[in-house]
C-alpha cells in the first residue's frame, strides 16, 4: 500500500479505518475485521467514546499474532477540554490506557477550540476558554512535551486553517506534522492543501464519503450526497468500482491519507481495495469540476451566540 512519509522517515499507510460514529458493540469487531483485511492504520479520538473497545480489539489482535504493534499506525486526538498545558499529557496517558498501548504513532489537537476541564460539549459561555485564556501555543507546547516523553511518535492538528497553522509554526520548536481535515470532491481544500504541502505538513482526509451516518443534529436538510453524485457514480460504473472506492482513490491520488469509517466487513475490505485504484487525469479533472461546494462538518456547534469562537477561526475561505 502507498504510504506517507514523515520527515524522520516513519511511514503511515495512506488508508486507515476511521472510528468516528462507530458504536460500542460494533467498533471492536470492525477493528478486528480491518486488521484481518490488511489495515494497519486506525484513527481514533477520545471524544468518540469508544477507545476502550478499540483497545480491546488491538490487544486481541496483537496477542493472537494477527499483527505486531510496530506494524500498526495508531492516531488519536486531544479533546477541547484538555488544552491547558498541565492537562495535555494526562489526556494522552488516559488514551494510551484505554487503547492498551505504550505509545501512539500520531497525536492531534482535535479542534482549535478550548473548553473548561471536564466539559464534553460546551453549552454555556462559561464553559469555554478563549484564545486569551489558553493560547494555541500553550496547547502545542503540551503536545511537544508528549513527544519528548515518548508518549507519541508524531504530533499534529485537526481542523486547523492556514492562520492557525501559521500561529503554531511561528512559536513552535516543531511545526505540526499532520493536519486532519474534511476533504472530498465537494470540499477539495486546494488553498489549504497547497499551504500544507509547501510547508511539509502531511494531510489526512476525514468524512471522505460524506459522513451520511452522522447525527441528525449536525446535518442539514437536503444536503448533497457524495455517494449518489452522478460524476462519482459514472466513474465508478465505468471502472467497476463502488462510489466509495472512487472517493477514497481521489484522496490517494492527491497524496492525502484517507480514513473511511465502516463497521461492515464487506465494505471495510472494499474500502481498503481502493488502494489499488488509479484514477486517470481526466477522471480527477471531472471530480475537480463537479460543481458542488459543501462542508458536511461545518463546526457551527462550536460557534454562535454563546461562543467566543467564529467559523473564521476554523475554516479557510476557498
Radius of gyration of the chain (CA): 19
Burial of 202 (0-12, 13-18, 19+ CB in 10 A): buried
* C-alpha cell of residue 168: 503554531
Q: What is the pLDDT of residue 216?
A: 61
Sign (positive/negative) of CA torsion 238, 213, 44, 68? negative
Cβ partners under 8 Å of residue 148, min gap 6: none
* C-alpha cell of residue 101: 498501548
Name the pLDDT band for 136 (thresholds 50, 70, 90).
very high
What does the pLDDT look like over 254-280, one tens digit per residue? 999 999 999 999 999 999 999 999 999
Name the pLDDT band for 217 (thresholds 50, 70, 90).
low
Q: What is the pLDDT of residue 24?
A: 81
Name the pLDDT band for 23 (thresholds 50, 70, 90).
confident
CB atoms within 10 A of CB 310: 12
CA–CA gap between residue 216 and residue 159 (Å, rounded): 21
CA 316 to chain centre: 17
Least confident of 13-27, 88-102, 125-139, 213-227: 213-227
What does the pLDDT look like over 39-86, one tens digit per residue? 999 999 999 999 999 999 999 999 999 999 999 999 999 999 999 999
Give the residue extent of every domain in the chain: 11-214+257-262+294-311
Helix segments in 254-280, DSSP class H:
265-273
Which residues are designated catalytic?
48
Name the pLDDT band for 218 (thresholds 50, 70, 90).
low
User: Is 154 annotated as belonging to a binding site?
Assistant: no
What does the pLDDT look like over 158-184, one tens digit per residue? 999 999 999 999 999 999 999 999 999
The angle subtended at Cα 32 by Cα 108 and Cα 41, nearest 5°, is 30
Q: Considering only the C-alpha atoms of the chain, give the largest distance between any 2 of them, rounded to a whole number of Å.
A: 54
HSE, side-chain direction, 13 A CA sphere, residue 139: 34
Least confident of 41-55, 110-124, 166-180, 212-226: 212-226
Strands (E), 172-212: 178-182, 202-206
User: Across residues 283-291, what is the average pLDDT?
Assistant: 97
Strands (E), the chain: 3-5, 11-13, 17-18, 41-43, 73-78, 106-109, 114-115, 128-129, 155-158, 178-182, 202-206, 257-258
Match domain 11-214+257-262+294-311 to its CATH number in 3.40.50.80, 3.20.20.100, 3.30.300.30, 1.10.600.10: 3.20.20.100
Reduced to 3 states (helix: H, G, I; strand: E, B; else coil), residue 129 is strand
Query: Which candidate, 277, 185, 262, places its Cα nearest to that of 229?
Result: 185
CA–CA gap between residue 192 and residue 316 (Å, rounded): 7
* C-alpha cell of residue 294: 459543501
Amino acid at each position: 500500500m502507498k504510504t506517507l512519509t514523515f520527515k524522520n522517515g516513519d511511514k503511515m499507510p495512506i488508508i486507515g479505518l476511521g472510528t468516528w460514529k462507530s458504536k460500542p458493540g460494533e467498533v471492536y469487531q470492525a477493528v478486528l475485521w480491518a486488521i484481518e483485511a490488511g489495515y494497519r492504520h486506525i484513527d481514533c479520538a477520545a471524544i468518540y467514546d469508544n477507545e476502550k473497545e478499540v483497545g480491546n480489539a488491538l490487544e486481541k489482535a496483537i496477542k493472537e499474532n494477527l499483527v505486531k504493534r510496530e506494524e500498526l499506525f495508531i492516531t488519536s486526538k486531544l479533546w477541547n477540554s484538555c488544552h491547558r498545558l498541565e492537562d495535555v499529557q494526562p489526556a494522552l496517558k488516559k488514551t494510551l490506557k484505554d487503547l492498551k498501548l505504550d505509545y501512539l504513532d500520531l497525536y492531534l489537537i482535535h479542534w482549535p477550540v478550548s473548553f473548561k476541564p471536564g466539559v464534553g460539549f460546551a453549552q454555556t459561555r462559561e464553559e469555554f476558554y478563549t484564545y486569551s485564556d489558553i493560547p494555541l501555543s500553550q496547547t502545542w507546547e503540551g503536545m511537544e512535551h508528549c513527544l519528548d516523553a515518548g508518549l507519541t511518535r508524531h504530533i499534529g492538528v485537526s481542523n486547523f486553517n492556514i492562520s492557525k497553522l501559521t500561529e503554531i509554526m511561528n512559536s513552535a520548536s516543531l511545526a505540526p506534522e499532520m493536519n486532519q481535515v474534511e476533504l472530498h470532491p465537494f470540499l477539495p481544500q486546494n488553498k489549504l492543501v497547497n499551504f500544507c504541502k509547501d510547508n511539509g505538513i502531511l494531510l489526512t482526509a476525514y468524512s471522505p464519503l460524506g459522513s451520511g451516518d452522522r447525527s441528525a443534529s449536525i446535518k442539514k436538510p437536503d444536503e448533497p450526497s457524495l455517494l449518489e453524485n452522478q460524476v462519482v457514480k459514472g466513474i465508478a460504473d465505468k471502472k467497476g468500482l463502488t462510489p466509495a472506492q472512487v472517493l477514497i482513490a481521489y484522496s490517494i491520488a492527491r497524496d492525502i491519507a484517507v480514513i473511511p469509517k465502516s463497521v461492515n466487513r464487506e465494505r471495510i475490505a472494499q474500502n481498503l481495495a481502493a488502494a489499488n485504484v488509479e484514477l486517470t487525469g481526466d477522471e480527477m479533472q471531472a471530480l475537480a469540476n463537479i460543481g458542488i461546494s459543501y462542508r458536511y462538518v461545518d463546526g457551527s456547534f462550536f460557534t454562535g451566540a454563546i461562543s467566543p469562537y467564529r467559523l473564521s477561526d476554523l475554516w479557510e475561505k476557498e
